[in-house]
Amino acid sequence: MNYSKIILCGRRCCGKTTLFWDLQKALNWSTFSMSLYIRDYLHRFNLRNSDQIDAQSGDISREIDERVRLLLTTSDHIVIDARVYGHIDEPLPGTLKVLLTADEAVRVARAAFREGTSSEVQRKRLIRKEDSWIEKMHRMYPFDFFDRRYYDLVVDTTRLTPSQVMDKVFVALN
């Protein structure tokens, strides 16, 4: 298949953002990052965290999904870091759907390193925040976002380097 779009999904700290930037550099395609979109939204409205987004404006998740849907219908080449996409269970012609996974202990260690905290602190913070977010997403879209059957490529990043992960994506692209 000839892909012109890549959508990256997966839980926190599984390597999506690293792969996102590596693919952007290697392919020189346009990009859209859900995380960057939310950070920009927080900045524009002087909010401290994503919990305040919901309190102020309702749900931003559907707005992001609509933006991703539009990006997936253009003729442009694009890499999308979406964490989850509410319509991943639908056919997305020309789109390589990639699910990244990693063991919980590795994700916690990555979060602790990134945040400069201990694994114990991050285990509580990461899992609590993630569980709350996934529960909210399941209320909006009642299916398992991380069901492997929705993806063209599933990569467990637990023991892989970023370049090994990118190699797997390039093999799938070609």
Buried b (16+ CB within 10 A) or exposed e, 45-81: eebeeeeebeeeeeebbeebbeebeebbeeeeebbbb
pLDDT tens per residue across all 174 residues of the chain: 789 999 999 998 999 999 999 999 999 999 999 888 888 878 877 776 655 555 444 467 778 888 899 999 888 899 999 888 888 888 999 999 999 999 999 999 998 998 888 888 888 888 888 888 788 778 888 888 899 999 999 999 999 999 999 999 999 998
DSSP 82: E
Domain boundaries, the chain: 5-166
User: What is the pTM for the complete model shown?
Assistant: 0.88
* CATH number of 5-166, picked from 3.40.50.300, 3.40.50.620, 3.20.20.220, 3.30.1960.10: 3.40.50.300
